[in-house]
Amino acid sequence: MQPDTPVTTSASFRHGTTEALGAPAIAMGVTFLAFGAAVREAGLPLPWALAASLLVYGMAGQLVLLQFAAPGAPAGGVLPAALGATAANARFLPMAVAIAPWLGARRGRRWLALPFIAITPWAAAMRRLPALPAPARLSWFLGFALASWLAAAGATAAGHLLAPRLGAATRAALLFANPLYFALLMAADLRAVAARRAILAGALAAPAALVLPPAWGLLGAGLLGGTLAFLLGRSKGDEPGNRHGRG
């Protein structure tokens, strides 16, 4: 165990919160800032923007929802908006499956993590949780996730309020912070063989997303690349413990 490894529930919660309030909060915050501004431009109120950020809590789905649900949107409507957002965020299903075993042995308490399973907390947790003692894992995740969630809400509100001052070019640059942050996280994971294989396969499968219906493209590419990487790993006899980066 590392010297700074949190061992009590409250200490691990604090560690999770502290880790979230650095690069993750900034990367996520600027993206949600841009989203808040886009919601205001679409003519929807602040409570709608906050509810979308906190309850959908997945930027791809939020953007699809906004695109189809905004008043006067071409090809808009309730069902296309809800179904499109669901398809765009369907990655939450395999992410929840993957993270569940790391959230502690008490299965009932895992449900506390339910609203927070999204890319940023998931990516950070999959790197951090395997190195923590089992009793500290859920509280670390909740600390990280709650801080990220509140940062997302604050940034959304700020974006909605500041929309008239943010130009289109600024919003576009802010939206790029999120993929850049994930690229940095993946760079750390490249040291682990299985993770490297999945990341490279996902990048190579990305063009498949361009020929699938827009809402399903990302999940389709992930299923294709991830399944091929998994099968390749099985054929090469991967060690199970070699799946995650430790960076």
Q: Which residues inside 139-178 make contact with another protein, applying CB under 8 A? A: 168-169, 171-173, 175-178
Q: Which of residues 222-241 bind another protein (CB under 8 A)?
A: 222-227, 229-230, 233-234, 238, 240-241
CB under 8 A: which stretch of 1-9, 96-104, 145-153, 157-165 binds another protein? 96-104
CB under 8 A: which stretch of 7-15, 139-147, 151-159, 179-187 binds another protein? 179-187
User: To the nearest whole angstrom, how small is the minimum distance from the Cβ of residue 104 to another protein?
Assistant: 12
SS3 content of the chain, % helix, strand, coil (to 5): 80, 0, 20
**What does the alpha-carbon distance between residue 200 and residue 165 come to, in Å, rounded to a whole number?**
39
Number of residues that bind another protein (CB under 8 A): 110
**What does the alpha-carbon distance between residue 1 and residue 214 come to, in Å, rounded to a whole number?**
45
Nearer to another protein, 10 or 176 (CB): 176
Q: Chain centroid to CA 160: how far? A: 21
Contact with another protein (CB under 8 A) among 16, 58, 121, 143: 58
Contact with another protein (CB under 8 A) among 69, 125, 136, 163: 69
**What does the alpha-carbon distance between residue 135 and residue 189 come to, in Å, rounded to a whole number?**
24
Nearer to another protein, 26 or 46 (CB): 26
Contact with another protein (CB under 8 A) among 81, 155, 163, 215: 81
Nearer to another protein, 10 or 127 (CB): 127
**What does the alpha-carbon distance between residue 153 and residue 149 come to, in Å, rounded to a whole number?**
6
| Residues, the chain | 247
Contact with another protein (CB under 8 A) among 7, 8, 10, 107: 107
Contact between 193 and another protein per CB under 8 A: no
Token pair recorded at residue 10: 């409250």
Nearer to another protein, 154 or 247 (CB): 247
User: To the nearest whole angstrom, how small is the minimum distance from the Cβ of residue 41 to another protein?
Assistant: 10
User: To the nearest whole angstrom, how small is the minimum distance from the Cβ of residue 135 to another protein?
Assistant: 16
**What does the alpha-carbon distance between residue 234 and residue 228 come to, in Å, rounded to a whole number?**
10
Contacts of 73 (CB under 8 A, 6+ apart): 42, 67
Nearer to another protein, 10 or 46 (CB): 46
**What does the alpha-carbon distance between residue 208 and residue 219 come to, in Å, rounded to a whole number?**
10
CB 46, CB 169: distance < 8 Å: no
Contact with another protein (CB under 8 A) among 32, 140, 144, 181: 181
Contact between 216 and another protein per CB under 8 A: no
- CA distances to 73, 99, 179 from 186, in Å: 36, 17, 10
